[in-house]
Amino acid sequence: MTLMRAGTVTLRDIARATGVSVNTVSRALTGKSDISAKTKARIQAAAQRLDYRPNLPARSLVLGRTRSFGLVVTDCTNPFYAMLIRAVEELASYNNYALLLATSNESVQREVAALQMLGERRVDGMLLSPVSVEAPHLRPLVEGNLPCVLLTRRPAGYGGPFVGTDNAAGAELAMRHLLELGHRRIAHLTLSGGGISARVRLMGYRRALTRAKIPSSFRFELAAPQTMAGGREAVRALLAQERRPTAVFTYNDLQAVGVILGLRDAGIEVPWEMSVIGFDGIDMGEVVEPPLTTVSQQIHQIGWLGAQMLLDVLASKPDRPQHVLPATLVARGSTAPPPRSGHTAKRSIASTP
């Protein structure tokens, strides 16, 4: 038998080839359970032999589904979000879903426009890392008007689907590491414009210092953009302090890499004159010199779990609504004990028997 040209085969052609009704073919190819396994196998074999391609727009109209996700992140150039996007796309593709991506660039207005655009595209569900958890435009999403899973950030009191990291515990991990090394003058570089993740990490920084009974005069908090340029620029303010910090804990790894570069520009040796620790666990941290000590998030797991939860919501499968994943400390070369008076820590360590 001569095969028909791809894209021209219809359900009627498959019905004619198998001797069953068009309705039976349709039910077999959409996975209905009332078709016998033998008949279903015969129909599927014929569809493959004829190179049948389903008309997805027509099927979407019939089923009321587009088999597409919307994903909105704050910055797709940030390696953290690039890794997150990859994980979501992998699971979506495996389940035959298309992924429509939009970025907000930390702008509520752009986020509103992105959500509106994706809604007009009639996506089946949404994955969102929101700019601000207090924004009123989130209310329709969190109230369930469109199936939605929040990633990395969530409103206070929100009980819907969410996947993220325990930011407070992660910040305390970073601070415990620095305190155990002997640091007392520890600066924190937070995020310009706030944001729930930044506020929670700042809270963890303050709580760790309070528990360690570190005087407030030893603390220094500074806000900067979550970029390498932001971290590099912040070095000026760090070095201008009368009581210069011996360690810096940054909001994310990009800031931390920027701080390392800025300290290098200023002739400050990391970690022997100042230690630096980041937050995220992006691949870049392994190749900077010295390699970055960081609090690592389970980035791939956040994206994968978020996409799987959205699939479960769409399939009306019950699931634990929220996953708060633990962070882990990855100690590398950018942290060391603080320098002693008149000496670098490097020389002090070398002179220790």
Domain check: are 173 and 287 in the same one?
yes
Please state, in angstroms and rounded to a whole number, the distance separating the CA atoms of residues 42 and 209: 69
Domain count for the chain, please give it. 3
**Per-residue pLDDT for 319 more than 70?**
no
Domain check: are 264 and 175 in the same one?
yes
- Give the number of residues written for the chain: 353
Domain check: are 171 and 253 in the same one?
yes
Please state, in angstroms and rounded to a whole number, the distance separating the CA atoms of residues 317 and 311: 9
58-97 pLDDT tens trace: 554 444 567 899 999 988 889 999 999 999 999 999 988 9
Confirm whether 293 is domain-assigned.
yes
Confirm whether 138 is domain-assigned.
yes
Domain check: are 201 and 336 in the same one?
yes
Give me the domain span that covers residue 113.
68-166+299-325
Confirm whether 5 is domain-assigned.
no
Domain check: are 208 and 316 in the same one?
no
Domain check: are 152 and 177 in the same one?
no
Per-residue pLDDT at 195: 77
349: its two tokens: 């360590």
Confirm whether 155 is domain-assigned.
yes
Per-residue pLDDT at 349: 36
Please state, in angstroms and rounded to a whole number, the distance separating the CA atoms of residues 24 and 38: 13
Per-residue pLDDT at 88: 95
Please state, in angstroms and rounded to a whole number, the distance separating the CA atoms of residues 214 and 178: 13
Q: What is the mean pLDDT of residues 337-350?
A: 56
Domain check: are 87 and 111 in the same one?
yes
Q: What is the mean pLDDT of residues 179-191?
A: 96
Per-residue pLDDT at 269: 96
Confirm whether 63 is domain-assigned.
no
CB 242: neighbour CB atoms within 10 A? 4
Residue position matching structure tokens 């791809």? 6
Asked if omega into 290 is within 30° of 0 (cis), the reply is yes
Beta strand pairing call for 293-296 and 328-330? antiparallel
Cα-based distances in Å from 57 to 66, 97, 112, 152: 7, 13, 26, 33
Lowest mean pLDDT among 7-11, 103-107, 222-226, 331-335: 7-11
Per-residue pLDDT at 3: 40
3-state SS class at 176: helix
Confirm whether 6 is domain-assigned.
no
Beta strand pairing call for 275-280 and 220-224? unpaired
**Per-residue pLDDT for 317 more than 80?**
no
Domain check: are 188 and 140 in the same one?
no
pTM above 0.85, yes or no: no
CATH of the domain at 40: 1.10.260.40
Helical H runs in the chain? 11-18, 22-29, 37-49, 56-63, 79-94, 108-120, 139-142, 167-181, 196-211, 228-239, 253-265, 284-287, 299-314, 345-351
Please state, in angstroms and rounded to a whole number, the distance separating the CA atoms of residues 164 and 326: 9
Which range among 48-52, 63-67, 178-182 has the greatest average pLDDT?
A: 178-182
Q: What is the mean pLDDT of residues 233-239?
A: 95
Domain check: are 200 and 212 in the same one?
yes
Residue 34: which residues within 8 A CB-CB, separation 6 or more? 27
Per-residue pLDDT at 162: 92
**Per-residue pLDDT for 352 more than 50?**
no
Domain check: are 105 and 83 in the same one?
yes
Confirm whether 280 is domain-assigned.
yes
Cα-based distances in Å from 100 to 42, 73, 103, 261, 346: 35, 11, 10, 35, 50
Per-residue pLDDT at 171: 97
**CA neighbor of 305 nearest in space, from 322, 327, 283:** 322
Per-residue pLDDT at 62: 47
Per-residue pLDDT at 61: 44
The one-letter code for the residue type at 138 is: L
Domain check: are 316 and 250 in the same one?
no
**Per-residue pLDDT for 2 more than 90?**
no
Contact call for residues 259 and 231 (beta carbons, < 8 A):
yes
Domain check: are 154 and 184 in the same one?
no
214-228 pLDDT tens trace: 998 899 999 999 999
110-125 pLDDT tens trace: 888 888 888 888 899 9
Q: What is the mean pLDDT of residues 300-320?
A: 87
Residue 341: which residues within 8 A CB-CB, separation 6 or more? none
Q: What is the mean pLDDT of the chain?
A: 85
250-298 pLDDT tens trace: 999 999 999 999 999 999 999 999 999 999 999 999 999 999 999 999 9
CATH of the domain at 120: 3.40.50.2300
Contact call for residues 116 and 146 (beta carbons, < 8 A):
no
DSSP track, 128-161: E--S-TT-GGGHHHHTTSS-EEEES---TT--S-
Confirm whether 278 is domain-assigned.
yes
Asked if omega into 271 is within 30° of 0 (cis), the reply is yes
